[in-house]
Amino acid sequence: MLNKRDPISVVLLFLLILGLPVSAGAGEIVALKSADIQPYNEAVEGFMKSCRCDVSEIVLNETAGRDVLEKIRDADPEAVFAVGMDALNFSKTIGNVPVVYSMVPNSQLLSVAQQNASGVSMYISPEKFIAAILEVFPHAKKIGLIFDARHSGSFVRDADSACRARGIELVAEKTSRPGDIPTLIDSMRGRIDVFLMVPDVTVINPESVKYLLLFSFRNKVPVFTFSRKYVEMGSAAGLYAAPYDMGLQAGEIVQKIVSEKNGKVIRADARKTVLVINRKIMNKLGIRIRGEVLGRAEYAD
């Protein structure tokens, strides 16, 4: 792909890599953010903390693609830290520079082009979700979810086995059409104790979220979600990967890659998850929050 696009730079880069000794230890690194939003900034902060290197930030959305490319090449970084999916997608056009990502939904779902990138994903395993749900709602017996097999098939399989292991039931509805979602949500009435929102692009859109939350209030079924954003909107609770920590993780990976230089791809999922609770919604739904959870959780209300 590179040689197709810009043969001169390929030659130059080749000469650079072969002919010139590259200094050991972390040199300059460009942090490319998809957008200038709080979680991404936190991730960059964590990254800077752990990699002990010079980091120059570029926001992808604010700068035209060509300029971004030029800037990165001018900086001639040792590695690119891509924050967010867009940034990761863009960084594959840069060329022969190692890319480390974070704030990407799921490492397993990366495309072939992104396969040689290392990094940390926001993926939280179904087991963790089920455990957290039971921590907040200990009496839940049936957990409902809607998913698209194309995106979340394995997640749901794992979730199902995690539920079985704990002796509770997973009520999973499959769909490939966003239009079916309101109907499917309605069909859950009376069949579930908690609804688990799955990070699935087919299922999650503003309309379906609004509809789901409406369903939740009407039927007093709490929604457990994967992002702080939906807890703020009206979900009862959620579990999300802590961005700062993902930054720390990514920093460590960059150090390893730069120092070892063996072309190994290192991938990980977020180490630290955060439980977030909306106390107002919990109150409205008539759910008491246990003391131990109260102490551990973050609040979004």
Partner 1 sequence: MPTKSFRKSFGFKVFRSFALSILVVAIVLSALLVYYQNSMVKKDLYKEGTMLADMLAYSIRTWVFAENKDMLKDAVQGVMGQKNVVAVVVYNADRQVLIIEKKQSADKKDPFGNDPAAAGKMRMEQAGIIPKTAEREGTIGFLSPVVLETYKNMEEAIYFEESPKQSVQHVIGYVEVVLDKGVLRTEMRSILIRNAVATLLFLLAGSVAIYIAVRRLMRPLTNLAASVRSLGRGETVAQVPVESMDEIGRLATDFNTMSDNLKKREAEKELLEEKLRYAQKMEAVGTLARGIAHDFNNILATLRGSIYLIDKKLPAHDELRQYTRQVHGSIARAQNLIRGLLTFSRTQRINFRPADLGGIIRRLQPMLTNMAGEGVHLKVSLPEGPVMAMSDSVQLEQILMNLCANGRDAMPDGGVLSISVEMVTVGSEAGRQYPPAPGRYAVMSVRDTGPGMDEKTRERIFEPYFTTKDVGKGTGLGLAIVYGIVKQHRGWIWVESEKGEGTIFRVYLPLLEKNEEDMENKSR
Q: Which residues bind partner 1 (CB under 8 A)?
A: 34-35, 37, 39, 61, 84-86, 103-105, 122, 178-183, 199-201, 204-207, 210-211, 226-227, 229, 240
**49/32 Cα distance (integer angstroms):** 16
Nearer to partner 1, 176 or 205 (CB): 205
**207/149 Cα distance (integer angstroms):** 20
Q: Are 110 and 119 in contact (CB under 8 A)?
A: no
Nearer to partner 1, 85 or 171 (CB): 85
Nearer to partner 1, 2 or 268 (CB): 268
In the complex, minimum distance from the CB of residue 17 to partner 1, in angstroms, rounded to a whole number? 32
Nearer to partner 1, 142 or 229 (CB): 229
In the complex, minimum distance from the CB of residue 227 to partner 1, in angstroms, rounded to a whole number? 5
In the complex, minimum distance from the CB of residue 28 to partner 1, in angstroms, rounded to a whole number? 26
In the complex, minimum distance from the CB of residue 145 to partner 1, in angstroms, rounded to a whole number? 14
- Alpha-carbon Rg for the chain in angstroms: 22
**74/189 Cα distance (integer angstroms):** 58
**DSSP per residue, 131-159:** HHHHHHSTT--EEEEEE-HHHHHHHHHHH
Cα angle 25, 27, 30 (rounded to 5 degrees) comes to 140
Nearer to partner 1, 42 or 193 (CB): 42
In the complex, minimum distance from the CB of residue 167 to partner 1, in angstroms, rounded to a whole number? 30
